[in-house]
Structure 1
């Protein structure tokens, strides 16, 4: 694995897992499987900042080198700086439709003079004990992942990807297919044409989310550079259904 998750996203075709359950135990157990990274969701989950910090701490405590990323609820610098202060290794922002929005996103993850991230004593810097070291390295280490979830974002994919400091685009398949009038139709022409545009025009790696083994195969055939290969809720639901069916 590369030295930072930024390098891993760009170089190593990583595999990730999605965390929607607000639980440090679930986070630690998932990280113990040795994914390259996990994404702690705060957009569509009930996870608050305090729980994010506990989950980040749990991922860091697990054996291996799994990196904790956090999806914020919106591309907002206040939300971003709060999750970064927990020690998250990177941030995913939803609905990044333009280069200007991508620039604002990157700026929110960077300390001045490169950006506008606020300076504070927090877990990320070992509560100021290692602040100089953290301040000096964070701008080069924090990963930034912008979600492509609209027709506008597809049309601007090249410009968004070209923003300095942006590490990856991430196609949200449910939201993008819904925006194109083809919800869940991942083999439909409008959806595949849009994905093809993003893949061909992006100068940074493009990832997506698979919610089943079959989707892992499908996205590999489509040509994504990396995948989040499952979700905690999906693992639980699928395992419970399979065990019950076997018993019945």
Structure 2
């Protein structure tokens, strides 16, 4: 699908499945895109990808040639990394640590050309994907705000109402810490965490925006979609590499 198709799909809250990439390994990223995910996210915040790695990763996703689109989780809610990711050809950005509606508006403005925003006009690769007309580029660009802090959870309704925001995206590890977990998988806060997950999905639905979440497996992704999430990302390349290598070693050693 095109970037515009993907943006329209999220805005219509149609179920979408993606994958998470942390490694600067374009041939592997291309293989992942070839698997048929709707989108692949390149992690520019916690991943091992610099600006060149993000560009190469987006090229690899495009090389798959099957309509998978590339998104970038940028390093910060700042116009420079947001603009750089979009100029490199990303179909959209996932913006971390959005605590307020004002934070969400700042992310939207960074991803939109004037008069809708403050993005500097220099489309480079983006111009090959979505054309040089600013209004058309804006319509084809996805902006997703991460809900991963206590303040973000408290302000989720106002964040979802931010004009121009395509949707929200749950960072479950940080969110579990935000609701009192001692570590990212702390089972002692399961009830509180599950309540927060349900609240976020309901709030996004009421606002008419997409709600996404990171998951650990295909099974969990399917469950979250059935619970009202619009899109779900499955695990990551590094986690799967370690898990598969360990499983084969276990078989060999009996």
Q: Alpha-carbon deviation of 1:212?
A: 2.8
Which residue in 1 is equivalent to 2:8?
Answer: 7
Q: State the alpha-carbon separation in 2 of the partners of residues 131 and 149 from structure 1.
A: 30
Q: Does 1:69 align with 2:71?
A: yes
Name the SS for the 2:169 alignment partner.
strand
Query: Equivalent residue for 1:242?
Result: 247
Matched, 1:233 2:232: no
Deviation for aligned residue 1:15 = 0.2
Q: Deviations over 1:198-223 (max 9, x none)?
A: 12222212111112345335534654
SS at match of 1:95: coil
Structure 2 counterpart of 1:168: 167
**Alpha-carbon distance in structure 1 between the residues aligned to 2:43 and 2:36:** 19
Q: Is the 8 A contact 1:211 1:234 kept in 2?
A: no
**Residue 103 of structure 1: how far off its partner (Å):** 0.4
Alignment counterpart, residue 210 of structure 2, candidates 205, 211, 225: 205
Task: Indicate yes or no: 2:127 matched with 1:125.
Answer: yes
1-structure distance, mates of 2:161, 2:90:
24
Question: Per the alignment, do residues 220 and 138 of structure 1 end up closer, same or farther by CA in structure 2, a change over 3 Å counting?
Answer: closer
RMSD: 2.0
Q: Is the 8 A contact 1:124 1:134 kept in 2?
A: no
Structure-1 separation of matches of 2:223 and 2:36? 23
Shift of 1:9: 2.0
CA 1:114–1:38 in structure 2 vs 1: closer, same or farther (change >3 Å)?
same
81-90 or 230-239, which deviates more:
230-239
- Scaled by the length of structure 2, the TM-score of the pair is 0.89
5+ unaligned residues in a row in structure 2: which ranges? none
Distance 1:229 1:17 in 2: 5
Task: Tell me the residue number matched to 1:138.
Answer: 137
**Could you tell me how far apart the structure 1 residues matched to 2:123 and 2:10 are?**
28
Q: Which runs of 5+ in 1 are unaligned?
A: none
Measure, in 1, the Cα distance between the counterparts of 2:92 and 2:65: 19
Deviations 1:109-139 (A, max 9, x none): 001111000112522224xxx9963434111
